[in-house]
Amino acid sequence: MHKNIGFISTRLAGTDGVSLESSKWADVLQQSGHKCFWFAGALDRKPDYSFHVPEAHFKTEQNQWINQRVFGQKGRKQPVTQTIHDLRSHLKSKLHEFIKQFKIDVLIAENALTIPLHVPLGLAITETVAETQLPTIAHHHDFYWERVRFAVNAVGDYIQMAFPPNLNNIRHVVINSAAREQLALRTGIASAIIPNVLDFENPPKVSRKRTSAFRESIGLEADDRVILQPTRIIQRKGIEFAIELVKELKNSQNKLVISHEAGDEGLEYAEWLKEYACEHDVDLRLVSIQVSDPWSDNGNNSAAYSLWDVYPYADFITYPSLYEGFGNAFLEAIYFKKPILINRYATFVRDIEPLGFDLVVMDGFLSKQTVQNVVDILGSEKRRGKMVKNNYVIAARHYSYQVLRNQLSGILQSFFGDDIQQLTAQRRPAKSKGYLYINSHQVMYKHIDSQRCGPRAK
């Protein structure tokens, strides 16, 4: 029996990890005939399947007002409490409307019951789940205890209630083994591990026309070499190490391209990176157009390019993150068979590194040997070919859609028993959904950050 499945989050739009993974989950579920619907404060899904509630976004003025008064504070005042409950009540009524309108059978809360970026939304979801008794999957990406900024707070009562809630109709899913252990230790809640995945059974379809157009649109010449940092511009991504690497490579043809946006945690880091790149004489290109999620059939063609237009022409991937819950960019680099530099963040060391991937690694700093390893890989096509082929085989074994199908099937069958069949793969059409095609006039503009370091830049 097919089910109507409702995804809920503060944002389900763009190329952040939560939005990308929710799209992959929906892809797998829809291949088996289930229907997916979307509730969030920011949405880029098809309007016919979406329930947009602007107040659910974590960046609203009201929610930021609340956060300023409850994080970094040890006590909260009564007007703050009242504002939280007023917004919780409003969001809860919207959640009930969403469930009724789309006849939702299963809820999937995407990180909204995990990290308290939007406290009223977490409370609203928890109460809704308790009231409706709908089968619910809480998909956890980043817990509050993993972020220093939430260590001191005035909402400990709400965090214990809703981040995450311990209800008998909720199944909890985490993305790494440390999260599973900490969740059990801190709350007594059992969980399943479902790592981030990619469709390794179906290699990416690449449009050379579109990838060439993207390359031209960010001002690259034919002989330029792309060092790609495929992450958001936030401090824990360690992007300064990518700048240092490009500096140490000592080749003016190397251009550092950052494919995702800044702003989730302020713009100061992005401005500092520009200055840092200038000081090191590194040509830094910040992509300033919207890049879409390649799995989301959003139906509005608002984004000129898909994320899949960014990877194909990259010569090398940098991923020097200080912390990651899992690491989407790591899998994407493997999927596109690109060599990659990775910092040994905790989840990588514990869950990924033992699998035997062939990578350039650094351990908190960029050594001369690490730089030389990059030089050797860039200079040897045979070496690159061997390593990326080996990495693809390993990733296909451990991080494919089949892993997700097996795990989700087990969770759904725990809710519905024999009414739910095992999730199965569906043969892909010739043109896979999610590949957005651009009009010819859209490639005439250079969508790059205009700031450059003096006359040296093109």
Digit-coded pLDDT (tens) for 121-136: 999 999 999 999 999 9
CB crowding 118-130: b at 16 or more within 10 Å, else e: bbbbbbbbbbbbe
pLDDT attached to residue 213: 75
Distance in angstroms (rounded) separating the CA atoms of residues 151 and 162: 16
CA gyration radius, the chain: 22
pLDDT attached to residue 436: 27
pLDDT attached to residue 205: 79
Q: What would the pLDDT profile of 6-59 be if each residue is shown by its tens digit? A: 999 999 988 788 998 999 999 999 999 999 999 999 998 999 999 999 999 999
pLDDT attached to residue 438: 26
pLDDT attached to residue 447: 35
pLDDT attached to residue 297: 54
Interval 311-325 mean pLDDT? 91
- Structure-model confidence comparison of residues 142 and 205, the more confident one: 142
Answer for the pair 138, 170: CB distance below 8 angstroms, yes or no: yes
Distance in angstroms (rounded) separating the CA atoms of residues 36 and 29: 8
In Å, what is the CA distance from 99 to each residue of 23, 50, 51, 119? 19, 11, 10, 21
Interval 230-256 mean pLDDT? 93
Residue 310 per-residue DSSP state: T
Distance in angstroms (rounded) separating the CA atoms of residues 233 and 268: 10
SS3 percent helix, strand, coil of the chain, rounded to 5, is 45, 15, 40
What average pLDDT is seen over the chain?
Answer: 88
Q: How many other C-beta atoms are found inside a 10 Å radius of the C-beta of residue 58?
A: 20
Contacts of 143 (CB under 8 A, 6+ apart): 114, 115, 163, 179, 182, 183
Kindly tell me if the per-residue pLDDT of 93 is higher than 80: yes
Kindly tell me if the per-residue pLDDT of 227 is higher than 60: yes
Q: pTM for the complete prediction?
A: 0.84
Which structure tokens are listed for 56?
């659910």
pLDDT attached to residue 441: 28
Interval 152-162 mean pLDDT? 97
pLDDT attached to residue 377: 96
pLDDT attached to residue 291: 59
pLDDT attached to residue 265: 62
pLDDT attached to residue 327: 86
pLDDT attached to residue 292: 57
Q: E strands, 290-431, where? A: 291-292, 305-306, 316-319, 340-343, 360-362
pLDDT attached to residue 315: 94
pLDDT attached to residue 97: 98
Which structure tokens are listed for 356?
């035997």
Q: What would the pLDDT profile of 411-446 be if each residue is shown by its tens digit? A: 999 999 988 889 998 755 444 333 322 222 232 223
CB crowding 165-190: b at 16 or more within 10 Å, else e: beeeebbbbbbbebbbeebeeebebe
Question: What CA dihedral angle connects 155, 157, 113 and 182, to 10 degrees?
Answer: 100
Q: E strands, 111-262, where? A: 136-139, 170-174, 192-193, 225-229, 254-258
Domains of the chain plus CATH, in order, are 4-193 (3.40.50), 208-398+440-450 (3.40.50.2000)
Distance in angstroms (rounded) separating the CA atoms of residues 101 and 45: 17
Distance in angstroms (rounded) separating the CA atoms of residues 11 and 441: 30
Kindly tell me if the per-residue pLDDT of 341 is higher than 90: yes
Interval 391-414 mean pLDDT? 96
- Structure-model confidence comparison of residues 412 and 209, the more confident one: 412
pLDDT attached to residue 449: 45
User: Cα-flanking dihedrals φ and ψ of residue 360, to 5°?
Assistant: -90, 125
Q: What would the pLDDT profile of 248-289 be if each residue is shown by its tens digit? A: 999 999 999 988 766 656 688 888 999 999 999 999 988 755
In this structure, which amino acid lies at residue 312?
A: P
Q: E strands, 218-369, where? A: 225-229, 254-258, 284-286, 291-292, 305-306, 316-319, 340-343, 360-362
Kindly tell me if the per-residue pLDDT of 191 is higher than 70: yes
Query: Shortest CA distance to 348 belongs to which of 365, 331, 367, 371?
Result: 331
Kindly tell me if the per-residue pLDDT of 381 is higher than 90: yes
pLDDT attached to residue 426: 72
Backbone φ/ψ region at 444: left (φ over 0), alpha (ψ -120 to 50), beta: alpha
Lowest pLDDT segment from 128-132, 200-204, 310-314, 389-393 = 310-314
Interval 211-230 mean pLDDT? 83
Pairing of strands 192-193, 225-229: unpaired
Kindly tell me if the per-residue pLDDT of 453 is higher than 80: no
Kindly tell me if the per-residue pLDDT of 201 is higher than 70: yes
Contacts of 234 (CB under 8 A, 6+ apart): 262, 264, 265, 269
pLDDT attached to residue 304: 58
pLDDT attached to residue 198: 94
pLDDT attached to residue 270: 87
